[in-house]
Homo-oligomer: A and B are copies of this chain.
């Protein structure tokens, strides 16, 4: 087990979000270990186990503890972030304790909702959790799945809590000036030590070039190389190259926009034999046959299957 300090420094660069493939209604541990090992071998900066892409919301406490341990085991020297979100604060604290015991380097927390939460509820959640844990915490803003809308004011309040180290923001505007404005505005309300990580893979090149410190990436969890190429170009200040590398993946981003990144990424992993067919947790069936063929065609045409 690695030291829990290995990513106590701010979270920067490319964080790859692996799928947690299901087979026969159980976590496919062999496939998961292989996927995580590939990410470490590709030298992504961090691996985020049990993100939305890793189906954290669908797994039991025992499954999540096991997945966290497998991720740390197969990530080698790469720091592992673990998603700890749950509908109930009690359960979030249990997941945090399990992640800490597994050797996680940091924790990712989204305010899951069933009943709508108020800003005060969400602040209370982060207050309760950051008071109870010893690892860095990433605020995970994913309105498409949580249906909770953060304000800049709430970002700022939570970012002042101890141990809050990074904010995973939703997709940025496609226009690079508008994206830079948004990142600038966030910088003004956030403490200097809190990193900003972009998600929404299609807007990552824009986001990194606009000053985001990290890319919390769905696609990198299954296809790390093209995501790394974009990240390294942007980090080196080669914004045009990063934009061109991202533009080359436009057919993929179109599929993401149409079907959501999870179903498309699962179809890619299944096409590449990284996961068994229908690897998402039911009731999510994943793409239909025609769309799976389209995904396979895009993967082959872009040379992503090599």
Contacts and interface: CB of A to CB of B under 8 A. Distances in A.
A292 B191 CA distance: 35
A88 B282 contact: yes
Contacts of A285: 118, 120-121, 124
A30 interface: no
A153 B24 CA distance: 31
B116 A58 contact: no
Interface in A60-100: 60, 87-91
Nearest to A146: B114
B52 A117 contact: no
B89 A116 contact: no
A134 to B, nearest CB: 21
A94 B120 CA distance: 34
A58 B121 contact: no
A281 interface: yes
A282 B58 contact: no
A125 interface: yes
A87 B58 CA distance: 6
Contact of A283 (B57, B58, B89, B284): B89
Interface string A137-160: 000000011010000000000000
- Among A121, A260, A283, which residue has the most Cβ atoms of chain B within 10 A? A283
A224 B116 CA distance: 25
Contacts of A116: 144-145, 260
A199 to B, nearest CB: 15
Interface residues of A, number: 35
Given A116-B260, A260-B115, A282 B144 contact: no
A187 to B, nearest CB: 28
A81 to B, nearest CB: 19
Contacts of A87: 57-58, 281
B114 A145 contact: yes
A115 B25 contact: no
A262 interface: yes
> What are the 10 A-B residue pairs with the smallest beta carbon separation, nearest first?
A57-B114, A125-B283, A89-B282, A58-B88, A121-B283, A88-B281, A89-B283, A58-B87, A114-B145, A25-B90
13 contacts: A25-B90, A57-B87, A88-B281, A88-B283, A89-B281, A89-B282, A116-B145, A120-B285, A121-B283, A124-B282, A124-B283, A128-B282, A128-B283
